[in-house]
Chain A
Amino acid sequence: MAFLFDPQQPVAVPNWTNFSGTVGPFDIPHFVHIPGDPNRVPNALEIHANALREVLEFCFSASTPRPLRTLGSTWSFSSVIEPEQVVVDPGAMFHVQGIPHEHWTDEYLERARGGGFRPIFVEGGTGIGTLNDKLGRDGKLALQTSGAGNGHRMAGCIATGTHGSALQIGALHDTVLAMYLLISPDEAILVQSNRDKTFKPSIADWLQEQTKIPTRVEDGDLLLAAARVGLGSCGFVFAAIVEATGLYAFDIHRFKCDANDPDVLHALQTLDTTRLHASSTGDTPYHFDVVMNPYPVGGKKNWFATVMYKRPVGDREFKGPLQGIPRTTVDTMGLVSSLVEIFGEGLLGELTRAVVGGQICDQLNGDADPPEDTLFPGQVFGPTTLPRGQGASTEIAVDQRHAQAALDTVHQVLRSEADKGNLLLGVIAMRFVGRTRSLLGMNQFDKTCFIELPSIDSPGVRSVFDAVWQGLQDNNINFACHWGQLGGFSPARTQAYYGEHASQWMEARAQLLKTDTAMAVFGAKILKQAGLDGG
């Protein structure tokens, strides 16, 4: 069946910007919506595949290949989303299904039975919130980790290395068992680990039967490690096979502290949180984060440490997300949205350190208690509100052993920039994540510390970000920036942080895509910025 895509009558979108307003405006000559609502048609995957194949044929067949970018769901701040000639919106690609265990290898079947894991086929356009709901309600399952909110689409979330919050797990992309990639109009591959195979070769027939795309299985550890965090450049992410686990709940404890609280500083340096929560001795938290008011207010609590413990749910009935993320300290982007309403656009030039610090303090201290003692993951990391057209954020990743030095640098820069009138209109959030199995995951260390600076956008904030990156470099602190957020990407920083993983990623990408045409179609500006274009 022919798809709506007619190159002769393109749907053009003028003056496109991303949701936060950090990318664009661009005129997009070909803007394509993938049709096929899985809740309304019986063969959605085939419809999606047909549409994508038409689009790819258009991109591949041009004398100069047309670059294609795929949209996420409003969360990208960086040039990873920067469009060129063809843009695909995969919003209808949200089919989620289990995979019959006949296609699992014996080894994986044993792991699944022993550990309560399940491989789940998740189409690239599926929102994390939709996925949480589906898993919990229909399968008594849950993601092992996710980002701090549930608004991301699966493909965008993992493509940019969006990290979770699980100390022991790693990021969401580290729970991806296989990637189902469309690498040309007529070829799809399922990339899985060679060492720890999840699926038998019969999985290719199972996929092909549904999509009608000629499909083969590609076993390769490095290929999978590259494709997991692929920057939208390792083929079109039709679906990710994500490893879910049995449904669980979080027992959440939050501690309000003074700035520079010694027990929190000890926890930041050692990841030993027992001084914060005496009863937790011997029980390592699943999640640990600290959120700070960048401009502390005297006499008030300015630092907020949160630990979460994983708990069984027993027979408890699954519940969907709350209306908002229950803790402001988890929902930092929601906090920035609140600040937009409080400050308003016109006041940005008149704000002072004291005013900003006071408002942030009020926001952080204003949470009500969650409705229950424990919450499902989709409730803790639920729906947030992003500041449309006014958001900015950067996030730096460092080896946890350098967390204190990096934090000191951030504070030092904030002070010096504030003296110039440049204020961060948001918070400092520190999270800790286990080591990645992906070549370009930012969590490259046994424990990686992420320092996020979400803010209302302004020229002053951009100066703060520039100064933070420069300050870290000047202090010889090796760091990377979140691929999906504003970052000081450069070939030198990529090389310093990722080392040989950078060249391995480029080699694996070339091996996956095979042709120069495919490399051009799935190219992106961010590759050149970060020295990942092979040039």
Chain B
Amino acid sequence: MPANVFNRRRTWLPAASVLFIATLSACGARQVQLLFPPQNDTGEYWKCPVADASARPEHRENQCTRVYGGLAPDIGNSGRVAHIDVRTCELGEFRSITIVDADSSSPTLYVTCGQPVGGQTAGSQTGGGTSATPPNLNGGLPSSPPSASDAVPTPDSPTPQSDLNGGLPPPEATPTTNP
């Protein structure tokens, strides 16, 4: 693992982060899901699917309820103060996804990308799903399918992606002049 994967500016959960990154690398995940133990009276898990490893999370303006990994609105529950940061960094063959600052008791980090980490079957706790990530959205990761042991439902269909170039070929190389 490259040494600089841990940026000095950030607050890390080293053990969990190492596990997480290692898992990403091992399974070539294109979807992962972060789960934290119950933090409120409901007993529900607080969840943060990060389905698209290439997407930076849509940070929340406030510090409550749900955190998106760039997507997945219909998940999670309220009550947690936390801040998830997903980095799309290309360090060798994988990208790191790390928790920047999750307050209260140190959360245990679980990952669903074929196999849970941390001794609990994460997928069965969440009811969340592995999405069918559209082509070209694997964030540089291999597009391996979820393994048979993945305890998550069948993927839903994504919203169709249109051709960004509107039916034209991509533009030629950008002019070298600085207009």
A contact residues vs B (CB 8 Å cutoff): 11, 13, 16-19, 31, 33-45, 71-74, 76, 81, 89, 91-92, 94-102, 104, 112-113, 116-120, 125, 127, 129-130, 133-135, 137-141, 150-151, 153, 168-169, 244-248, 283-286, 309-314, 319-324, 334, 337-338, 341, 383, 385, 388
Point out the residue from A31, A42, A309 that lies within 8 Å of B157, measured CB to CB: A42
- Find the A residue at minimum CB distance from B158: A39
B166 engages A313 (CB within 8 Å): no
User: Complex: how many Å from CA A235 to CA B161?
Assistant: 26
Enumerate the 10 nearest inter-chain pairs by beta-carbon distance, A residue then B residue, closest first: A116-B171, A139-B164, A246-B171, A129-B56, A323-B89, A92-B73, A248-B174, A91-B58, A71-B61, A98-B164
A73 engages B178 (CB within 8 Å): no
User: Complex: how many Å from CA A33 to CA B72?
Assistant: 11
| Residue B43 CB within 8 A of the other chain | no
- Find the A residue at minimum CB distance from B67: A91
15 contacts between A and B (CB under 8 A): A39-B133, A40-B129, A71-B61, A92-B73, A98-B167, A101-B166, A118-B171, A129-B88, A133-B56, A168-B179, A245-B171, A246-B173, A311-B176, A383-B85, A385-B9
Q: Mark B121-155, 1 if CB is under 8 A from A, else 0.
A: 00000000101111011011000000000000001
Which of the listed residues B51, B62, B72 has the most CB atoms from chain A within 10 Å of its own CB?
A: B62
How many residue pairs link A and B with beta carbons under 8 A? The number is 246
- CB-CB < 8 A to A38: which residues of B? 71, 158-159
Point out the residue from B7, B131, B167 that lies within 8 Å of A323, measured CB to CB: B7
| Residue B25 CB within 8 A of the other chain | no
| Residue B168 CB within 8 A of the other chain | yes
A125 engages B61 (CB within 8 Å): no
| Majority SS at the chain B contact face | loop
User: Complex: how many Å from CA A139 to CA B165?
Assistant: 6
| Residue B17 CB within 8 A of the other chain | no
Point out the residue from B87, B163, B179 that lies within 8 Å of A383, measured CB to CB: B87
Contact A141 B170, CB 8 Å, known A40-B129, A95-B159, A127-B55: yes
User: Complex: how many Å from CA A231 to CA B87?
Assistant: 29
B131 engages A40 (CB within 8 Å): yes
Interface size class of B (residues with CB under 8 A): 35 or more
- CB-CB < 8 A to A100: which residues of B? 162-163, 166-167
- CB-CB < 8 A to B72: which residues of A? 37, 39-40, 92
Point out the residue from A19, A44, A113, A153 that lies within 8 Å of B58, measured CB to CB: A153
Given contacts A116-B175, A120-B164, A150-B56, 14 further A-B pairs with CB under 8 A are A33-B73, A37-B131, A38-B158, A41-B159, A92-B71, A94-B55, A104-B166, A137-B136, A141-B165, A246-B173, A310-B174, A312-B175, A323-B7, A324-B9
- Find the B residue at minimum CB distance from A36: B73
A323 engages B166 (CB within 8 Å): no
| Residue B47 CB within 8 A of the other chain | no
Contact A19 B71, CB 8 Å, known A37-B131, A98-B163, A385-B100: no
- Find the A residue at minimum CB distance from B83: A388
A168 engages B74 (CB within 8 Å): no
User: Complex: how many Å from CA A328 to CA B21?
Assistant: 26
User: Complex: how many Å from CA A364 to CA B130?
Assistant: 42
User: Complex: how many Å from CA A163 to CA B62?
Assistant: 23
CB distance from B2 to the nearest CB of A (A): 10
A310 engages B178 (CB within 8 Å): yes
